[in-house]
Structure 1
Amino acid sequence: MTLKKALMLSFILLWHISLNAQKITHSFALSDSSFMLDGKPFLMISGEIHYPRVPREAWRARMKMAKAMGLNTIGTYVFWNLHEPQKGKFDFSGNNNVAEFVKIAKEEGLWVILRPSPYVCAEWEFGGYPYWLQNEKGLIVRSKEEKYLKEYETYIKEIGKQLAPLQVNHGGNILMVQIENEYGSYGNDKEYLAINQRLFKEAGFDGLLYTCDPTDAIADGHLPGLLPAINGIDNPVKVKKLISENHGGKGPFYIAEWYPAWFDWWGTAHHTVPAENYTARLDGALSAGISINMYMFHGGTTRGFMNGANYDDKHPYEPQISSYDYDAPLDEAGNATNKFMLFRQVIAKHLPAGQTLPPVPAAKPTIAIDNIQLNESAGILDILPKPVLNKTPLTFEDLKQDYGFVLYRTTIKGGKTGVIKLNELRDYAVIMINGKNVGLLDRRHKQDSIKLTLPAGRVKLDILVENSGRVNFGPYLLKNKKGITESVKFNGAEVYNWAMYSLPFKHVNNIVYGNKKATHIPVVRKGEFNLSKVADTYLNMESWGKGVVWVNGHNLGRYWSVGPQQTLYLPAEWLKKGKNDIVVFEMLKGEMSRLNGSATPILNKLQ
């Protein structure tokens, strides 16, 4: 045999071995007390990471950190509003490529718990629902209402095409799939839950399905026959009692959301919980054979306009901040914290015999970029698109606009003083008279009125309204329209004849900047900075007012001087050597034209 033939045969043999290895399927099942992977008891030690909250270029690095802490599984929600941003238009590209996220986890030796739900909560805009569901007349989310189920079915089948082939029973690494999400905190309709189960199966999710609920909601939220996972407690006796009571007297026992800390919202102190408060509890759960999913292992950042909000009859409107650091074991930038190291020590005690943990990757380098000048500017009133005209104000939904801002304009008769009232303002408004800021209204403080003194003659009234994030939890999911959602009154008389200008700020590369100084109104400012090396960094916005920042076209999220977050995380993956572009939309301090960077985040400063 010639050397060439021998090499060819070797190649073919290796190719067949590789192909057969790829076809290997595993079994995953429930026993009365534990999960069974390939017929052997499996203690799931999982941590939640959300693919859109991490740059795609950094997914693998985060997976390696998960392995280094001792996790064997990753949990993630799937976000309907990312994948179907407009009705019938699906997007699984770039940072939305959830199948790639799952495949990378497999390559890094991690199993996956999938939570397509389709309601996710997650401190995410509208709990993951696409805004346009509100335009379907009569549609009721989380119900058996026909229109909702039709849209839900369309969505979940598209998700099935992407992810059902990656289930463990098809050779992939998805162990279990969650239907709905903490439904017992919202309702108790078992027929609705059964429809969820059917839709998931029809979408190709033919492996293990489960539900998850907090302790006081598990009876309402679980579907008989499915594993009822529990959220928010870790006392082994209570966990086993609650799950077995709702699962025919048996397990396995799974804490689907084990909280090492909590999230933040604007104007409230940063939430932190010492790791020492949790190490014994983690050890206790694992020692009792209870599987966990840490929510969050790594929070990352809620970029763009995708933060949600909380609101109910007992609490004011509370929009969440852009940082989703969560005081998690892996910080916002993906570096190991003290919590990571202490949890790693606990998990190391529970590894299978002969298994050791890989070394912890070193913290990533950071840089501080100082004295960034933003010399180009455009006042918001100079870059308005073509308006939509209507007698009364239109909502974002009426305008088929998902996120961002809408400017409402009309003219009224001046020469008088009076109170202007915006009925059901959602959520934050800058009021301008003849092109100058004269007042602010903030839904957080239940502000909907302000006293104005109008100059003589016809007065141009502009009201810039920000959608600060749709409610993501509770009874107000169905009351989530944005903008001026009812009417405007001046001294009790309704104001009519409005022009609405949509400003979704999906892209900022088409803004035309001028030489005119814009200081008394919301303004877009542009600049650039040069780098000789790239590394993670933070933009310090504490001397600015309120707005949004883009770098090299990437929306980094919102900033707001009220805190507690004062910096925006800028990942190295989105920077480049040489020239980098920066755009800032500032709502309150139009005179600002310079900002500095920081090598460390500021997440705990209220102003």
Structure 2
Amino acid sequence: MKFNSFLFSIMALLMLNSCKSRTEHTFGLADSTFLLDGKPFQIISGEMHYPRVPREAWRDRMKMAKAMGLNTIGTYVFWNLHEPEKDHFDFTGNNDIAEFVRIAKEEGLWVILRPSPYVCAEWEFGGYPYWLQNEKGLVVRSKEKQYLEEYRKYINEVGKQLAGLQVNHGGNILMVQVENEYGSYGSDQEYMKINEQLFKDAGFDGLLSTCDPAKDVKNGYLHGVVPGVNGIDNPQQVKEIVNKYHEGKGPYFIAEWYPAWFDWWGTPHHTVPAKDYSGRLDTALAAGISINMYMFHGGSTRGFMNGANDKDSTPYEPQISSYDYDAPLDEAGNATDKFMQFREVIRKHLPAGQELPDVPAPKPAAALADITFTKSVSVFDLLGTPKVSTHPLTFEDMNQAYGYMLYRTTVPGGTKGWLKIKELRDYGLVFINGKRAGILDRRMDQDSLLVNLPKGQVTLDILVENMGRVNFGPNLLKNKKGITQEVTLNKKVISSWKMYGLPFDQVDNNKITGEVKNSSGPALSYASFDVSKVQDTYLDLRKWGKGMIWVNGHNLGKYWSIGPQQTIYLPAEWLKSGKNEVAVLELIKPEQKVLSSLGKPILNELK
């Protein structure tokens, strides 16, 4: 009996070791290359962000990555998604990044994880949650005590989700990136060392890396950590920079290789011809350089998650909802000509005996029948209980992350003059006794409006939209929203305000009960529509003005007639056979009653 028990124990141990040998890998560094299980390994990675793709489509997009020849997926982790309010964490649904990583493993893909609290990524506040601005004295990207404490809590929660999925723990996360392009922001090496230790304390005990534009590596690198270089692909230049900051050796890694670019409202759609980059990709891969392509697949920035650029020398530039990026995989997940050209380049550099899988067929897309709205409600009829203050309160003062805010006051009429909103952030519709008097737009440096007030007491309403917090540069520290200073009429400060929060984080269709009618004020409209064959479509907003759209409870993002984006991508995964529901918040053309759709997007039409 004892012998049988001993034999069983030996067999169990052998089986355990056999299982571990099949699932555990090693990942390390040689002088010029990465080593996977002790053998040279060239990372051919493409960036793809889990919140920009419906969870139901993650696996399909990863199959496309494999078909192009990628062996790795890169993704940021977004603090403001996972801790939308202080100490409230969410890793469910489309935020389930651990599942995203596990699916990548099932599809034969490694992962480069980029969980820096700051991500840039054309994402709201660069990934920071809005509420950090309510912590008095807190300074992001610094050694300030409160920031480091909130950062520590966040990264520990991320570690609970993902540290066990590192390659040295049997998972598929090859590397974890510390901070993100810090060299473009500062040069405090002590701060970077604190970052490194926070990551290690959170359980990220595998290979760490950094990521900086070539000219800024000197500020952002960490001694002993793999320095990723952004924005260049000349092998000699890459090697010279990495050698300089990594003890005279590699491996050589382009952390962000840009074969494309992003868009912002009011400017042409950016495109980069594939032929201009396929040769450069070939040269980099032939030289043994590892790359992370930014982006391989952009997807869509839905809800209120778009960021904005704002430098002292350039205007405020809020980014559009489409994150198509002119990437190899388009917004809907279909292969482009760029995809096919890059696939042929990568095929040349595959290990001996390895073949690429066939490219999956394009997803079908078609126009729906026109949708006619039958119910509508004025936004002014959706107001709850206001907060009252002598001076205007910001979104942050109201503990409101995103959306809209209505500022209301009364002023004596019978006068004409200039209404000025100091530091309006970002877009304001001005109403006098319920009628729209004008629009002010931060992009255009518009902060003043000539108004003619009728006699008597006049109700002055200013509906302000948060169009996205700055995600890059020194103005990260100037990111409060709404009316952030004061309002004057003929240089006299207006006081005594009521603030009504309109976050529109969700839409209750049951509150949209009235008949559609013409109105000068913003309106929320509702319709139901039937779908017989579920497939992708693109909602055509060219006849509309500015607003947001929800289908079956999913916020599809913002639209604006100025372009360049004129359509909103509606993925098949979020449609149902039979009855579907749509709601539209329209700010400037509430008289619109019909919504059309197309079988293809319009991303390059300016008005």
**Shorter-chain TM-score: what band?**
over 0.9
For residue 370 of structure 1, report the CA deviation from its aligned partner: 2.9
CA contact (8 A) 1:23 1:171 kept: no
Structure 1 match to 2:113: 114
- Secondary structure (helix, strand or coil) at the match of 1:528 reads strand
CA distance in 1, matches of 2:69, 2:75: 17
Q: Stretches of 4+ moved more than 4 A in 1?
A: 15-19
Question: For residues 441 and 554 of structure 2, what CA distance do their matches in structure 1 show?
Answer: 27
On the 8 A contact 1:184/1:217 being kept in 2, the answer is: yes
What amino acid maps onto 1:603 in structure 2?
Answer: L
CA distance in 1, matches of 2:473, 2:163: 30
Q: 1:190-269 maps to which residues of 2 (within 5 A)?
A: 190-269=189-268
Mapped pair 1:381 → 2:380? yes
Distance across 1 between alignment mates of 2:113 and 2:530: 41
- Kindly tell me: are residues 552 and 428 of structure 1, through their superposed partners in 2, closer, same or farther at Cα, counting changes over 3 Å? same
Where do 1:60-139 residues align within 5 Å? 60-139=59-138
Are 2:526 and 1:539 aligned?
no
- Aligned to 1:117, the other structure's residue is in SS state coil
Q: 1:232 to 1:316 in 2, by over 3 A?
A: same
Is the 2:512–2:524 contact (alpha carbons within 8 Å) kept by the matching residues of 1?
no
Shift of the 202–454 alpha-carbon distance from structure 1 to 2, 3 Å rule, reads same
Partner SS, residue 472 of structure 1: strand
Measure, in 2, the Cα distance between the counterparts of 1:22 and 1:338.
40
Percent of aligned pairs with the same amino acid: 66
Residue 371 of structure 1: how far off its partner (Å): 1.5
User: What displacement does 1:122 show?
Assistant: 0.1
Give the match for residue 566 of structure 1. Answer: 566
Instruction: Give the match for residue 582 of structure 2.
Output: 582
Cα contact 2:407–2:497 (8 A) shared by 1: yes
Amino acid at match of 2:242: I
How far apart are residue 374 of structure 1 and its match? 1.1
1:515 is displaced (CA, Å) by 3.5
Q: Deviation of residue 402 (structure 1)?
A: 0.2
Residue in 2 that maps onto 1:363: 362
Q: Say yes or no: does 1:275 pair with 2:274.
A: yes
**C-alpha distance after superposition, 1:528-580 (max 9, x if no partner):** 11011100000000110000000000000000000000000000000001111
1:156 matched to 2:138? The reply is: no
Q: Which amino acid aligns with 1:57?
A: E
Report the more deviating stretch, 23-32 or 301-310.
23-32
- 3-state SS of the aligned residue for 2:353? coil
Paired residue type of 1:108: E
Instruction: Supply the distance in 1 between the matched residues of 2:258 and 2:561 (Cα, whole angstroms).
Output: 28
What secondary structure, in the 3-state scheme, does the structure 2 residue paired with 1:151 have?
helix
* 1:47 aligned onto 2:43: no
Instruction: Tell me, in whole angstroms, the C-alpha distance in 2 between the residues paired with 1:448 and 1:111.
Output: 49
- Name the SS of the counterpart of 1:542 in structure 2: coil
Distance 1:144 1:584, change over 3 A: same
Maintained 8 Å contact 2:374/2:516: no
- Are the counterparts in 2 of residues 430 and 441 from structure 1 also a CA contact under 8 Å? yes
What are the within-5 Å matches in structure 2 for residues 347-496 of structure 1? Answer: 347-496=346-495
Counterpart CA distance in 2 for 1:63 and 1:341 is 16
**Contact between 2:512 and 2:526, CA under 8 Å: does it hold in 1?**
no
Q: Which runs of 5+ in 1 are unaligned?
A: 1-8
TM-score, with length taken from structure 2: 0.97
1:275-324 residue CA offsets vs partner (Å, 9 max, x unmatched) = 00001100000000000000000000000000000001110000000000
Amino acid at match of 1:402: A
Question: Could you tell me how far 1:369 is from its partner in structure 2?
Answer: 1.2
**Aligned-pair Cα RMSD in Å:** 1.5
Moved more, 29-38 or 367-376: 367-376
Distance apart, 1:385 and its partner CA: 1.2
Residue 551 of structure 2 is matched in structure 1 by: 551
- Deviation for aligned residue 1:519: 1.7
Residue aligned with 1:605, SS: coil
What amino acid sits opposite 1:41 in the alignment?
A: P
Cα separation, 2, equivalents of 1:584 and 1:592: 10
Instruction: State the secondary structure of the residue aligned to 1:67.
Output: helix
Alpha carbons 1:22, 1:171 under 8 Å: kept:
no
Instruction: Supply the distance in 1 between the matched residues of 2:172 and 2:271 (Cα, whole angstroms).
Output: 33
Unpaired segments of 5 or more residues in structure 2?
Answer: 1-7
What one-letter code is carried by the residue in structure 1 that aligns with 2:587?
M
Q: State whether residues 49 and 297 of structure 1, in contact with CA within 8 Å, keep that contact through their aligned partners in structure 2.
A: yes
In the other structure, the counterpart of 2:327 is: 328
Query: 1-side partners of 2:199 and 2:143: how far apart?
Result: 15
Paired AA for residue 549 in structure 2:
V
Distance in structure 2 (CA, Å) of the matches to 1:531 and 1:378: 25
Displacement of 1:16: 6.1
AA matched with 1:514: G
- Alignment TM-score, normalising by the size of structure 1: 0.97
For the 8 Å contact 2:34–2:251, the answer to whether it is kept is yes
Q: Which amino acid aligns with 2:115?
A: P
**Partner residue of 1:520?**
520
Tell me, in whole angstroms, the C-alpha distance in 2 between the residues paired with 1:414 and 1:140.
43
Contact 2:310/2:470 (8 A) holds in 1: yes
Cα offset for 1:23?
6.8
Instruction: Tell me whether 1:179 sits opposite 2:178 in the alignment.
Output: yes
Q: 1:19 to 1:412 in 2, by over 3 A?
A: farther
TM-superposed deviation, 1:22: 8.7
Q: Residues 474-530 of structure 1: CA distance to partner in whole angstroms, max 9, x if unpaired?
A: 000000000000000001110011110101101112534224735211110111110
**Aligned residue pair count:** 596
Q: What SS class does the counterpart of residue 558 from structure 1 fall into?
A: strand
SS in 2 for 1:429: strand
- Distance between the aligned counterparts of 1:388 and 1:518, measured in 2? 30
Instruction: State the one-letter code of the partner of 2:226.
Output: L
Distance 1:516 1:37, change over 3 A: closer
Q: CA deviation at 1:20?
A: 2.1
Letter in 2 for 1:511: K
Q: Which amino acid aligns with 1:254?
A: F
Matched AA of 2:532: S
Segment drifting more, 384-393 vs 22-31: 22-31
Q: Does 1:142 align with 2:141?
A: yes
Identify if the C-alpha distance between structure 1 residues 529 and 180 changes in structure 2 by more than 3 Å, giving closer, same or farther: same
CA spacing shift, 1:531–1:250, aligned 2, 3 Å: same
What is the deviation of 1:118?
1.2
* Cα distance in structure 1, aligned partners of 2:397 and 2:188: 31
Amino acid at match of 1:100: E
* Aligned residues of 2:374 and 2:515 also touching (Cα < 8 A): no
Distance 2:277 2:215 in 1: 22
Q: Is the 8 A contact 1:258 1:294 kept in 2?
A: yes
SS of aligned partner of 2:402: coil
Judge conservation of contact 1:83–1:91 (CA < 8 Å) in 2: yes
Range moving further from structure 2, 64-73 or 380-389 = 380-389
Give the match for residue 303 of structure 2. Answer: 304
Larger mean CA deviation between 428-437 and 89-98 belongs to 428-437
The whole-number CA distance in structure 2 between the counterparts of 1:19 and 1:559 is 55
Cα distance in 2, alignment partners of residues 328 and 270 from structure 1: 12
AA aligned opposite 2:149? K
Q: Is the 8 A contact 1:118 1:179 kept in 2?
A: no
Matched letter for residue 438 of structure 2: G
Q: Secondary structure at the match of 2:380?
A: helix
AA paired with 1:581? E
What is the letter of the counterpart of residue 104 of structure 1?
I
Instruction: State the shift of 1:18 in Å.
Output: 12
